[in-house]
């Protein structure tokens, strides 16, 4: 455990010779496992937990009878510990016999290309890149060092990935943006001439889509984390270290600042800008620019259907209520003047 404390930059209180073999929650941990306390709501589980050691903030150590790894941000330390115990299968190095790799492809060192993957012409793959089974990498795409595409990921032509980008299964990067011009009788396609540029240390969840730009590139900044089933429209600009939670939908030409959080199921209409350090709560619709940092919400709160229907009727009446109130205020003002 002393070695683990050093790796996690934590202060050890307890038996440094204790062997840690895995990770678990406080409630389900067994002897030999490491757990953590980040939410004070679970402090009652410390006394009954069978974990051999617990990552914990110093202010809670008196409540913990186990070996302790003291750290100011236990959840971050736990995240680092998961990397030490990662049990994901290691891909074999080299190119599978069934993969199709164009002769013009530039291959870095220690590249792994799995079965039935297709790598088109003029693609550049950096060192330690992993391409999963059934992936497609389009013409002139570029992947930086240590990128990993899980199975059945599609990268269209001229998609650029920085270093250490992870894209999970079923995601599509660089499909055409939703661009059409109506001529009075039918919709005329606007061909999407831009690309997609993704920064370093980005992770994209399963089944998510990022459209290519119409003229300029769609851009995803460094450290951005995108959950499953997220749609990002053409020409969007997503700032560094922003988090976009599951099922969020972002229309075209939206600019989102740095260190933002878009809650699950939230939506953003096109052609607006959101400032740095903004949090949008789940299921909210952002329909106008947000120029200042802070937390923003839209929609109505959960209620029993009967009450919700009555409130909805009142909501429809707000305009008439406001007009009536204005009349009353004007009448009161006149009486005070007289």
CA distance 132 to 112: 8
Concatenating the DSSP letter of every residue in 40-99 gives GGGGGGTTT---SEEEE-GGGGGG--SEEEE-S-HHHHHHHHHHHT--PPPPPSEE-TT-
CA distance 30 to 64: 16
Backbone torsions φ then ψ of 186, nearest 5 degrees: -155, 165
Is residue 35 within 8 A of residue 54, CB to CB? The reply is yes
234 is catalytic: yes
Which entry of 191, 234, 241, 271 is annotated as an active-site residue? Answer: 234
CA distance 12 to 47: 19
CA distance 124 to 115: 19
Residues classed as catalytic = 234
């Amino acid at each position: 455990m002393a070695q683990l404390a050093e790796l996690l930059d934590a202060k050890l209180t307890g038996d440094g010779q204790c062997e840690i073999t895995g990770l678990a929650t406080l409630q389900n941990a067994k002897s030999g496992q490491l757990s953590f306390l980040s939410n004070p709501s679970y402090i009652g589980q410390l006394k009954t937990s069978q974990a051999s050691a617990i990552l914990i903030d110093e202010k809670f150590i008196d409540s913990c009878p186990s070996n302790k790894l003291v750290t100011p941000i236990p959840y971050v330390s736990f995240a680092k510990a998961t990397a030490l115990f990662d049990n994901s299968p290691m891909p074999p190095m080299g190119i599978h016999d069934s993969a199709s790799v164009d002769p013009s492809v530039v291959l870095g060192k220690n590249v792994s290309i799995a079965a039935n993957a297709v790598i088109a012409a003029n693609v550049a793959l950096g060192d330690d890149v992993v391409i999963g089974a059934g992936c497609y990498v389009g013409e002139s795409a570029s992947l930086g060092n240590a990128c990993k595409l899980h199975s059945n990921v599609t990268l269209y032509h001229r998609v650029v990935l920085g270093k250490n980008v992870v894209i999970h299964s079923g995601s599509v990067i660089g499909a055409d943006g939703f661009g059409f011009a109506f001529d009075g009788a039918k919709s005329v396609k606007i061909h999407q001439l831009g690309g997609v540029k993704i920064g370093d240390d980005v992770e994209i969840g399963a089944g998510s889509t990022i459209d290519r730009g119409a003229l300029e590139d769609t851009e995803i900044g460094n450290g951005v984390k995108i959950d499953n089933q997220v749609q990002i429209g053409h020409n969007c600009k997503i700032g560094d270290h922003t988090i976009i939670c599951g099922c969020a939908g972002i229309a075209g030409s939206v600019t989102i600042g740095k260190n933002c959080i878009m809650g699950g199921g939230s939506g953003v209409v096109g052609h607006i800008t959101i400032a740095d350090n903004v949090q949008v709560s789940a299921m909210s619709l952002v329909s106008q620019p947000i120029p200042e940092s802070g937390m923003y919400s839209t929609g109505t709160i959960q209620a029993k259907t009967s009450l919700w229907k009555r409130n909805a009727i009142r909501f429809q009446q707000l305009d008439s209520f406001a007009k009536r109130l204005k009349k009353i205020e004007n009448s009161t003002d006149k009486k005070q003047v007289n």
